[in-house]
Structures are given as C-alpha cells and as structure tokens.
Amino acid sequence: MKLPSLATVLACVSAATATILENGRPRVTDFPNTKVDLTTGDYETYGADAPEISYKGRWDSKKISWWAAPGIKFGFTGQTVAVTFGPHTISGTLVAYRIAGLDWMHTNVTAGATHLFVSPATPGIGLAGPVSPVTFEMRVTNWAYGVQVDSVHVAAGQRLVGIPDYPRRVEFIGDSLSAGMYATYEALAGFAYGVGAGLGDTEYSITAYPGICVADQECWGNPRGQSYQWFYTSDTGGRAAEVWGGTCRAYAPPEQQQQWTDLAYSNRSMAPDHQGPEMMASGTGRLTAACTDDPEPWDFSRNPPADLVVINLGTNDANAANSVSKAAYVQHYKKLIQGIHGKWPKAQVIIMQMWQGFFQDGNTYGQHTDLRDEVYSVYEYFNSEEYLSSPTTWDAVTNTTGKACGPAKPFVHFFNTTGILQHNDIGGQWHPTDVGQIKVASHLIQYITLKLGWPLFATGPE
C-alpha cells in the first residue's frame, strides 16, 4: 500500500479549507443583486399600509423597521414579488427572504430601489403545495441597519393575500446576546430566533439591541435602558434619533464613538466611516446634529398579547464600565416585568440566568456568574405572596405605577443556563458562536415545552 506524501496531504488540506463550508455546502458570501427597474415590468402595486401585509416585530407609523429581526409576511398569487424600499432604508442592509417553508435566501437592499425577490426562476415557486396560497416572508438581519417599506408589487392580474397569525406569541427582550451579535446571520442565527422559529406555528418578536442595560441609563452609547425603551417602537440606536429623536448624545472622543459603532456593526467591514465632531452617534455610522425627542410609544393593541416573554438582560449592567449598581439592576428589572404584567396580564415570563463568559482556572475552566443571585432574587420577588396578592404595574411612557385588577397566579420562571455552554462556545468577541446559540435555543425550547406544555410544530421548515 502506497502512502501519500506529506506534501500531498498538506495540499489536500489546503484545498479543502480554502472554502468555508456551512452544513456541508459552501457558505454564500456574495449575495445576488435583486435590484430591478420597476418601469420595465407590469405589476399590481400595494401600498405599505395594505391590510394583507403582516408586520412582524416593531415597525413605526412610517413603516420603518426597528430592533432585531423585524419582518413582513403575506400570501400572494402568481410567481412574482417585488418590494420598493423607502428613503429611510439603510443602503446595504442584508435581508433574508423565503417563500412558503423553503430555505432562507439573502440579498442586500437599497434605499429608494425596488428589489425583485420572487420570479418564475425562484426555486420552488412552481410547486402547488402544501402551503397554499404561497407565502412570502422577509426579515432584517441586523439591529442597527433597517428598512422602510414603500410598496409591494406582484405580477399584473395577481394579488396579495392576508395570512392569519399563528396562535402563539413570544416576545424576546434582550441585548446583543438575544440580537445574535457576531453570529453568522446575526439576528437570524441568534438563540431568540432559534426559539421563536423552532417552536413552530408561533409569532415571535425580538426587542433586543447590543449594549443596552435593563437599568434606565446610558450603557455603551445606548442612552436609555430596557425598563424604559421597551415601551417604545424605536430602539436606542442613532438611526432612531435621526428619525424620531430621543437619543441625543454629547460630544464623545473618537475612541468612544468607535466603541458605539463596534456595537452597532458586528461586521466591521460594513461599518461606514465616522464624520464630524460634537455630534450625535448615528445608526448609519455617520453623525448628525439633528436632535429632537419624540419617539413613538409602542401600540400594544396592534397585536394580540404575548403568551410568553423571555428576558435575557444584565450582561451590560454587570460591566463595571457602565457603573450600574446591583440595587439599580434589580430595581429596573422589576420595573420591566411590572410593565410586562401591566400590558399583558396573562403572559408567562421566563428570566434567564446570563452566561458571563468563562475563565481558565488552573488546568480547567470555570464560568462567571455575575448577577446570578440578583436575577434569582427578581424571580423570588415575583413569586412572593407580597407581590402576587397585590401586583404592581409600571408604564414608562406615563412614568406611573399602578395596581393590577386583582391577585395574580405565579407567572415568572427562572431558566438556569449553568452547564449549557462550555468555554469554546464563546467566540473571540465574547459572544456565543453559532453552535453556542443553537445549544441555548435547544435547551430553552425544551424548558418551554416542559414548563408551559407547548408542543413543537416546526417539523421541517428551518
């Protein structure tokens, strides 16, 4: 038997590793250009307010997307779908889209342009079922980037079809961990998406933004915390300040501005240049002098109440750079849950123990457990007779506390993440790898099925 030479082996290894594989297939990094000239086709056009279009996540009255993984979904007839994006779209935003239950595809979209997502050449478009009418879904992958929907187009003589919402609803509230920061497809590779989509037949919304604290104070350039911002449509990024205001910042030195931008863009090659001193950090990576304070409160009546809320907050509160005391962390965590209970009295709430990274302990590794006791104390408070007998509610928009209509049954649950992740599940940027995100999602899904008795319905589509 003739053995291959070392040079041959190394050559084979080099050739094999030249292409990055994803699930055994080459990973796509140059996404197709879907931009088209609308005047060259014959379309039926629907405005952004068309009732057939279902908006997922948080979108404001201008039909601008916010937070992580916002999207649209509708049914359609024919074999054509195009979307025109408004001027508030950040050019270059990566969106994922798909038809029916087939795999996600990706493309970068442009402000003021029309993009053809579905055509007779789209794989699977000619298949008759079982999903009928065929559905179209689009999700924004990044939190700092966003899109504005101007109009939707189908082929001439065809139409949009409204699709009923799924019967279950989950809301995720978090920071960069829930937003999927540094994951391959960002929000669509994070554990929150993995749970929301993995449950199947479930509406999900991810109200998460990198760097944000639960305490209502500035953290890593975010001017407000989730105990306040969750009540509003827009997030805490500079893009929101440009559109609605409310995130004015004083001058910061260049190194601080760089930290803000690093949080906004997990892919540094896509982050635009900085411009101008003594301005306000912008979600586009540029700076603007405009500053008002009139963000839209979120209209909680737009959708049915959430059945489940999952919270993962505290990583940024625990960082000494943000100077959040343990007492303030607990206080604002309680206010957030009081706010949730005020808006959705029947919702179950899962609060997650954070994974604060790992450290080498001699010849092995250990896990940081910052604020674990504080998170657990919040769980204990909401399960105490003191609270359940006379529940307090909170509204950040009106800055008022109130009392619920009557006593409550226990609704807050503690999800212990100890032992789910190991040290190599955390990547070089201190966030979970894709594998780490999947591990958290898998364990959390099983916790939900055991705790709430929810069956799983995702039996094929990703």
Contact 209, 313 (CB under 8 A): no
State which of 130, 164, 198 marks the end of a domain. 164
Q: Is 349 left (phi over 0), alpha (psi -120 to 50) or beta?
A: beta
* Residue 413 confidence (pLDDT) above 60: yes
Model pLDDT, residue 23: 59
* Residue 301 confidence (pLDDT) above 80: yes
Say if 173 falls within a structural domain: yes
Write down the number of H helices and E strands in the chain. Answer: 10, 24
Question: Do 182 and 138 reside in the same domain of the chain?
Answer: no
Question: Do 187 and 142 reside in the same domain of the chain?
Answer: no
pLDDT band at 24 (very low <50, low <70, confident <90, very high): low
Question: Do 204 and 310 reside in the same domain of the chain?
Answer: yes
Say if 12 falls within a structural domain: no
CA distance 58 to 300: 10
Question: Do 40 and 176 reside in the same domain of the chain?
Answer: no
Contact 198, 441 (CB under 8 A): yes
CA distance 242 to 392: 35
Question: Do 442 and 300 reside in the same domain of the chain?
Answer: yes
Crossing angle of helices 372-382 and 326-343, rounded to 10°:
40
107, two tokens: 């493309």
Contact 382, 390 (CB under 8 A): no
Question: Do 274 and 373 reside in the same domain of the chain?
Answer: yes
State which of 164, 194, 224 marks the end of a domain. 164
The CATH number linked to 222 is 3.40.50.1110
380, two tokens: 């204990």
Q: Which residue has the higher pLDDT, 26 or 95?
A: 95
Give the pLDDT mean for 14-31.
62
Closest Cα to residue 239, out of 58, 40, 90, 114?
90
Closest Cα to residue 231, out of 221, 218, 246?
246
Say if 320 falls within a structural domain: yes
* Residue 113 confidence (pLDDT) above 70: yes
Alpha-carbon separation of residue 366 from 17, 202, 362, 441 (angstroms) = 32, 36, 10, 22
Closest Cα to residue 244, out of 280, 214, 274?
280
Alpha-carbon separation of residue 41 from 76, 124, 152, 153 (angstroms) = 17, 22, 13, 10
Range of the domain at 129: 35-164
Question: Do 152 and 230 reside in the same domain of the chain?
Answer: no
CA distance 366 to 358: 6
The CATH number linked to 145 is 2.60.120.260
Model pLDDT, residue 249: 45
* Residue 185 confidence (pLDDT) above 50: yes
Question: Do 225 and 143 reside in the same domain of the chain?
Answer: no
Say if 457 falls within a structural domain: no
Say if 248 falls within a structural domain: yes
Closest Cα to residue 205, out of 226, 177, 178, 185?
178
Q: Is 142 left (phi over 0), alpha (psi -120 to 50) or beta?
A: beta
pLDDT single digits (tens) 200-237: 999 999 999 999 999 999 999 999 999 999 999 999 99
CA distance 122 to 392: 52
pLDDT band at 345 (very low <50, low <70, confident <90, very high): very high
pLDDT band at 269 (very low <50, low <70, confident <90, very high): very low
pLDDT single digits (tens) 28-65: 778 999 999 999 989 999 999 999 999 999 999 999 99
Model pLDDT, residue 22: 61
State which of 133, 164, 195 marks the end of a domain. 164
Model pLDDT, residue 18: 53
Question: Do 206 and 308 reside in the same domain of the chain?
Answer: yes
Question: Distance between terminal CA atoms of the chain?
Answer: 45
Based on its alpha-carbon atoms, the radius of gyration of the chain, rounded to whole angstroms, reads 23
Contact 401, 338 (CB under 8 A): yes
- With residue 115 as reference, give the H or E element that holds it: strand 114-118
* Residue 15 confidence (pLDDT) above 90: no
Say if 23 falls within a structural domain: no
* Residue 13 confidence (pLDDT) above 60: no
Q: SS3 of 232, please?
A: strand
Q: Which residue has the higher pLDDT, 166 or 10?
A: 166
Question: Do 299 and 371 reside in the same domain of the chain?
Answer: yes
Model pLDDT, residue 427: 82
Say if 348 falls within a structural domain: yes
The residues, ordered by sequence, that sit 6+ positions from 140 with a Cβ below 8 Å of its Cβ are 65, 69, 70, 71, 93, 94, 95, 146, 147, 187
pLDDT band at 252 (very low <50, low <70, confident <90, very high): very low
Question: Do 219 and 79 reside in the same domain of the chain?
Answer: no
Domain total in the chain: 2
Question: Do 144 and 41 reside in the same domain of the chain?
Answer: yes
Say if 5 falls within a structural domain: no
21, two tokens: 């594989």
Give the pLDDT mean for 293-301.
89
